[in-house]
Amino acid sequence: MRVHVTDLIDGDRLSNDTFNEYGLHVLSKGTVLNSQEISRLFQHRVDYVDIDQRVSETSEGRTLESTINPRWLPTVQPLYENAVKNFEGLFTQASTQGKIDVNEVSQMFQPLLNNLQLERDVVSMLLLLNTQDEYTYQHSVQVGMLSYYLATWVGYTNEDAVQVGKAGFLHDIGKCRIDEQILNKPGKLTSEEYEEVKKHTIYGHEIISKAFDEPFIAFGALQHHERNDGSGYPHGLTGEAIHPVSKIIAVVDIYSAMISQRVYQQKRDLLFVLKELYRLSFKELDPYTAHTFIKHMMPNFIGKQVELVSGESGIIVMTHPTEFFRPLIQIGDKFIDMAVEREYEIKQVLL
């Protein structure tokens, strides 16, 4: 079947080789399309492609499967939920015994990681997997997943990225020594309670150092609240004094916390969260790490509907490599390059 590139969805498979108007080969027959491939088609100004018949089509030719319901969900969701459940046991073990088992960490995190190594729609994935339950455990699993992704994006080998993922997975293990009433307090913490919470970085470093030979896994727990400008804790480190792995975890820790639904906060619009990371990158967060995360997350918005400040609705069809928040959007039959037409502003992404 022949479709316009704006009608493509993740999972479509090309039935023929695709070439641009100059005869340059763009994508091969059999390619399974995701946001990156669809973006590539737009960049080469390909209008139409041939794809295999979609399994779930109605007689009118409209797909029944939403792009917010990826085909991989039945595989990943039980692994994700199992990792969250198992992390609770790890948390309890660290609390009662003051230590964790390295092999157990691998057994609970690796199966999930094995299904992450084919890069997918990270935005949709975390939205679909996110629940209101067990924030501390779920947050740790999310930070582990995102730390793995970001490590690969900034240039780590896959083997090293796995270790960075484990560091992210364990970054909050020190909270096992913090009173639950403080951790789950719905209102603002007192200054005394906040000082106690800050100690989770030191506790985590102690617990992880007893189990892992790789020092940076423990550094991830110790330094993920340190900030480039020295405003973080526990030691007020600045710039190069902060381990690169800790800089990775700092970025994804904030992202995961801000997209999560908790008793004391509403989850924020995802574009707002990325804009906040961008703002923080000029003072508190490492700019290269934060910008790399944003650059790789934005293509996941391709195909998503947006509401503009003007009240109009459109679809993101391509993202900009440097103008992160000014993508190419389609409104009806017209295409608007927000990097050029500066009067347009996105109010929210509708997922």
Instruction: Encode the chain (351 residues) as per-residue pLDDT tens digits.
Output: 777 777 788 778 898 888 877 777 888 888 888 767 777 787 777 878 888 876 543 333 333 233 444 555 666 777 777 888 888 888 888 988 888 888 888 888 888 777 765 545 566 666 666 655 567 788 888 899 899 999 999 999 989 999 999 999 999 999 999 998 898 787 788 999 999 999 999 999 999 999 888 888 999 999 999 999 999 999 999 999 999 999 999 999 999 888 775 544 555 677 888 999 999 999 999 999 999 999 988 887 888 889 999 999 999 988 888 899 999 999 988 999 999 999 999 988 876
CATH of 2-50, one of 2.160.10, 3.40.1350, 3.90.105, 1.10.600: 3.90.105
The reported pLDDT for the residue numbered 71 is 55
The reported pLDDT for the residue numbered 132 is 54
CB atoms within 10 A of CB 239: 12
How many residues are given for the chain?
351
Question: Two tokens at 91?
Answer: 């948390």
The reported pLDDT for the residue numbered 190 is 93
Q: Which CATH class is domain 73-297?
A: mainly alpha
> Rounded to 5 degrees, what are φ and ψ at 106?
-65, -40
pTM (2 d.p.): 0.76
Closest by alpha carbon to 222, among 271, 184, 172?
A: 172
CA distance 129 to 60: 31
CA distance 248 to 158: 15
Answer positive or negative: Cα dihedral of 16, 21, 25, 27: negative
The reported pLDDT for the residue numbered 57 is 39
Cβ atoms of 115 and 79 closer than 8 Å: yes
CA distances to 166, 175, 262 from 161, rounded to whole Å, are 9, 24, 29
CA distance 182 to 178: 7
Helix/strand/coil for 351: coil
> Hey, which bits of 94-230 come out as E strands?
none
The reported pLDDT for the residue numbered 60 is 35
Give one word for 260, left, alpha or beta, with left for phi > 0 and alpha for psi -120 to 50: beta
The reported pLDDT for the residue numbered 264 is 46
CA distance 153 to 144: 14
Query: What are the residue boundaries of the structural domains of the chain, listed by start?
Result: 2-50, 73-297, 302-350
CA distances to 10, 22, 32, 234, 286 from 13, rounded to whole Å, are 9, 23, 4, 50, 38
- DSSP letters, 158-191, are HHHHHHHHHHHHTTTGGGGGS-HHHHT-SSPPPH
Question: Two tokens at 24?
Answer: 């340059």
